[in-house]
Amino acid sequence: MRALIWGDNRAAGVVSREDPRLGENQVLVAVQAAELAPTRPGAIPGTQGTGKILHDPQGLLPEGTLVAWAGVPGSCASLACVPRDRIVAVPRGIPPESAALALNPAMMAHVLLFSLRPVEAGSTVLINPADDPVGLISSQWAGALGARVIAVSPSGEASPHLDRAAVVRRAHVAPRRAAEVGGADIALHGTGKPGLDHALSSLRARGMLCVYGTPAQPIKRISPLDLAARGSLSLACPVAEDYVREPDGFRMRSQAVTQALAEGHITVPLGSVYSPEEAEGLGVEALRGLVALRF
């Protein structure tokens, strides 16, 4: 099989490898597209992708079925052995690149919107930033649910994709917008992003601050006494994998994502798409946003 590896020089290279051997409860997939992201030197990048079933030892998935997966290291290869419990069927009409890059950010968005303080019609949600994949998808999905969405987009790039949200460029504007409707029920805040104090100030009494993601640098500490003084606020720090690994967690969330994609409620902020040959020699600086490798 052909595969992309991450070299010691922090650049991608194309190699030939032996075809993978199926393990227990795995299916063999011909990869169509996968997420291209930096990884450790010598490893095949990518943890999510899409492709067609080549062989299912149990005969449950017909050959040629288009599927997507997430949480599977080494997806940037022409063949992949994918655990059966990490696969979801892809509805017709969804481009392979979108299906390949959707599950990780959109399942995180699903956790934020449905598993903490469920968002529904009439809820007020503050999302900062709306420029990254999780924030953008969360903003779109919350709007489709009928929530009032205040989306902080410092770059302004999210605005064309958020026709159901009030988009602001600066986080300090959010508390005023939230106060106009009695405060936000929940604030979704990317870890390490500016504006954490503004997110807290935007919440109504007994509101929830949800901090998600992995910070690139130390973040400000949040005192329980401060949360209490601001109106009995609560704090959540969800990690998507902790929810996905629950019984039936991946199936339920991945099917919700593909349905939302098929119905047009959410879109994937796709960046560049490369063939293996085009990706050879690419460095970290070229991999901005969601980047797909297409076979």
CA dihedral 83, 89, 93, 98 (to 10 degrees): -30
Q: 125 and 82: one domain?
A: no
CB 17 within 8 A of CB 3: yes
Q: Does residue 109 lie in a domain region?
A: no
Give the pLDDT band (50/70/90) at residue 96: very high
Mean pLDDT of 187-192: 94
Residue 218: pLDDT over 90: no
Picking from 4-8, 22-26, 291-295, which range would have the lowest pLDDT averaged per residue? 4-8
Residues 252 and 209 in one domain: no
Residue at 185 is within a domain: yes
36-78 confidence digits (pLDDT tens)? 998 999 999 999 999 999 999 999 999 999 999 999 999 999 9
- Cα gap 219→234, rounded to integer Å: 18
Question: Do 162 and 217 form a contact (C-beta atoms < 8 A)?
Answer: no
* Statement to judge: residues 276 and 199 lie in one domain: no
User: Mean pLDDT for the chain?
Assistant: 94
**Whether 222 and 278 share a structural domain:** no
| Residue 292 tokens, joined | 């797909």
111 falls within a domain:
no
Mapping DSSP onto H, E and C, the string for 55-113 reads: ECCCCCCCCCCEEEEECCCCCCECEEEEEHHHEEECCCCCCHHHHHHHHHHHHHHHHHH
Whether residue 194 lies inside any domain: the answer is yes
Q: Nearest to residue 211, comparing CAs of 230, 192, 226, 229? A: 192
CATH number at residue 48: 3.90.180.10
Please indicate, yes or no, if residue 110 is contained in any of the structural domains: no
Tokens representing residue 290 in the block: 């969601």
The reply to whether 216 and 255 lie within a common domain is: no
Global confidence as pTM: 0.94
Among 10-14, 133-137, 150-154, where is mean pLDDT lowest? 10-14
What is the extent of the structural domain holding 137?
117-237
pLDDT beyond 70 at 2: yes
- Report yes or no on 182 lying in a domain: yes
Decide: helix, strand or coil at residue 152. strand
Let me know if residue 112 belongs to a domain.
Answer: no
CA gap 151, 224 in Å, rounded: 26
Q: Residues 220-258: pLDDT tens digits?
A: 788 999 999 999 999 999 999 999 999 999 999 999 999
Among candidate residues 270, 265, 201, 260, the one with its CA nearest the CA of residue 231: 201
Task: Please provide residue 219's backbone torsions phi and psi, each rounded to the nearest 5 degrees.
Answer: -115, 165
Q: Are residues 204 and 259 in the same domain?
A: no
pLDDT for position 118: 95
Mean pLDDT, rounded, for 178-190: 97
Mean pLDDT on 167-182: 95
